[in-house]
Structure 1
Amino acid sequence: MKTLQVDVAVIGAGTAGMTAWRAAAREGARVVLIEDGPYGTTCARVGCMPSKLLIAAADAAQGARDAASFGVHVGGLRIDGREVMERVRRERDRFVGFTLRSIESMPEEDKLRGRARFVSDTVLDVGGHTRVEARAIVIATGTRPNVPAQYEPLGERAIVNDDVFEWHDLPESVLVLGAGVIGLELGQALSRLGVRTRIVQRSAHIGGLRDPLVYQSALAAFRNELDLCLDAAILGVRRVGSEAEVRYQVPGCAEVVERFEYVLLAAGRVPNLEGMGLENTSIKLDERGRPLFDPATLRIGETPIFIAGDVNGILPLLHEAADDGRIAGRNAARYPDVQAAERRAALSIVFTDPQLAAVGLRFNELPPDAAVAEVDFADQGRSRIMLKNRGKLRVYAERDSGVFIGAEMAGPAMEHIAHLLAWAVQQRLTVQQMLAMPFYHPVIEEGVRTALQRLAGEMAE
Structure 2
Amino acid sequence: MDETRIECDVAIVGAGSAGLPAYREVLRAGLTPLLIEGGPHGTMCARVGCMPSKLLIAAAQSVADMRHADGFGIRMDSPPRVDGVAVMDRVRRERDRFVRFVIDDVEAMPPAHRLDASVEFLRDGVLRTGDGREVHARRIILATGTRPNVPALYRPLGNLAIVNDDVFDWHDLPRSVLVVGAGVIGVELGLALSRLGVRVRVLNHSDSFARLMDPAVRDVAVELLAPELSLVRRARVTTVRRESDQVVVGWSVEDGAEVTERFDHVLLTAGRSPDLAPLHLERTTMPLDEQGRPCFDPATLQVYGQPVFLAGDVTGRHAIQHEASDDGRLAGRNAAAWPDVRALPRRAPMAVVFSEPQIMQVGGGHAALTDPDAMVVGKVDWTRQGRSRVMQRNQGLLHVYMRKSDQRFLGAEMVGPDAEHVAHLLAWALQMELTVPQMLDLPFYHPTIEEGIRTALRDAVR
Report the TM-score range of the alignment, normalised by the length of the smaller protein.
over 0.9
Q: What residue number does 1:162 align with?
A: 165
1:372 to 2:374 alignment: no
- Secondary structure of residue in 1 paired with 2:277: coil
Q: Structure 1 residue 267: deviation in Å?
A: 1.2
- Secondary structure of residue in 2 paired with 1:225: helix
Q: What residue number does 2:120 align with?
A: 117
Amino acid at match of 1:239: R
Q: Structure 1 residue 114: deviation in Å?
A: 1.2
Q: What residue number does 2:192 align with?
A: 189
> Which residue of the other structure, out of 17, 24, 27, is the alignment partner of 2:26?
24
- Secondary structure of residue in 2 paired with 1:275: helix
8 Å contact 1:184–1:207 — kept in the other structure? yes
Q: What residue number does 2:215 align with?
A: 212
Q: What residue number does 1:416 align with?
A: 421
- Secondary structure of residue in 1 paired with 2:444: coil
Q: What residue number does 1:130 align with?
A: 133
Structure 1 residue runs of 4+, over 4 Å off? none
Q: What residue number does 1:434 align with?
A: 439
Amino acid at match of 1:117: E
Amino acid at match of 2:250: R
Q: What residue number does 2:243 align with?
A: 240
- Secondary structure of residue in 2 paired with 1:61: helix
Using the TM superposition, name which of 206-215 and 224-233 deviates more: 224-233
Aligned positions of 1:1-40 closer than 5 A: 2-40=4-42
8 Å contact 1:202–1:230 — kept in the other structure? yes
8 Å contact 1:361–1:405 — kept in the other structure? no
Q: What residue number does 1:148 align with?
A: 151
- Secondary structure of residue in 1 paired with 2:229: coil
Q: Structure 1 residue 125: deviation in Å?
A: 0.9
Structure 2 CA distance, aligned partners of 1:170 and 1:374?
40
8 Å contact 2:350–2:364 — kept in the other structure? no
1:353 to 2:343 alignment: no
Structure 2 CA distance, aligned partners of 1:171 and 1:137?
43
Instruction: Deviation per CA, 1:170-226: give whole Å up to 9, x if none.
Output: 000000001101000000000000000001111110100011111011011012433
Q: Structure 1 residue 362: deviation in Å?
A: 2.1
> Which residue of the other structure, out of 333, 341, 354, is the alignment partner of 1:338?
341
- Secondary structure of residue in 2 paired with 1:283: coil
8 Å contact 2:348–2:431 — kept in the other structure? yes
> Which residue of the other structure, out of 231, 236, 252, is the alignment partner of 2:234?
231
Q: What residue number does 2:454 align with?
A: 449
Q: Structure 1 residue 236: deviation in Å?
A: 1.6
Q: What residue number does 2:75 align with?
A: 73
Structure 2 CA distance, aligned partners of 1:64 and 1:191?
15
Q: What residue number does 1:257 align with?
A: 260
- Secondary structure of residue in 1 paired with 2:228: coil
TM-score relative to the length of structure 1:
0.97
8 Å contact 2:381–2:396 — kept in the other structure? yes
Structure 2 CA distance, aligned partners of 1:187 and 1:299?
38
Structure 2 CA distance, aligned partners of 1:118 and 1:69?
61
Amino acid at match of 1:442: P
Q: Structure 1 residue 345: deviation in Å?
A: 0.3
- Secondary structure of residue in 2 paired with 1:15: coil
> Which residue of the other structure, out of 53, 76, 85, is the alignment partner of 1:82?
85
Q: Structure 1 residue 75: deviation in Å?
A: 2.6
Using the TM superposition, name which of 366-375 and 437-446 deviates more: 366-375
Question: How much is the aligned-residue C-alpha RMSD, in angstroms?
Answer: 1.1
Q: Structure 1 residue 113: deviation in Å?
A: 1.6
Structure 2 CA distance, aligned partners of 1:186 and 1:59?
12
Using the TM superposition, name which of 66-75 and 210-219 deviates more: 66-75
Q: Structure 1 residue 269: deviation in Å?
A: 0.7
Structure 2 CA distance, aligned partners of 1:261 and 1:205?
26
Q: Structure 1 residue 254: deviation in Å?
A: 1.2
Please, which runs of 5 or more residues in structure 2 have no aligned partner? none
8 Å contact 1:147–1:265 — kept in the other structure? yes
> Which residue of the other structure, out of 289, 311, 314, is the alignment partner of 1:286?
289
Q: Structure 1 residue 253: deviation in Å?
A: 4.3
Instruction: Deviation per CA, 1:107-166: give whole Å up to 9, x if none.
Output: 110001211111222111122332111111000000121111211111111111111100
8 Å contact 1:16–1:323 — kept in the other structure? yes
Q: What residue number does 2:271 align with?
A: 268
Amino acid at match of 2:63: A
Structure 1 CA distance, aligned partners of 2:418 and 2:197?
24
Amino acid at match of 1:238: R
1:406 to 2:411 alignment: yes
Structure 2 CA distance, aligned partners of 1:168 and 1:174?
15
Structure 1 CA distance, aligned partners of 2:292 and 2:253?
32
> Which residue of the other structure, out of 53, 56, 72, is the alignment partner of 1:54?
56
Structure 1 CA distance, aligned partners of 2:72 and 2:297?
54
1:384 to 2:412 alignment: no
Q: Structure 1 residue 275: deviation in Å?
A: 2.1
Amino acid at match of 1:18: L
Structure 2 CA distance, aligned partners of 1:127 and 1:412?
51
Q: What residue number does 1:395 align with?
A: 400
Amino acid at match of 1:16: A
Please, which runs of 5 or more residues in structure 1 have no aligned partner? none
Amino acid at match of 2:323: E
Amino acid at match of 2:48: V
TM-score relative to the length of structure 2:
0.97
Using the TM superposition, name which of 341-350 and 69-78 deviates more: 69-78
- Secondary structure of residue in 2 paired with 1:175: strand
Using the TM superposition, name which of 402-411 and 181-190 deviates more: 402-411
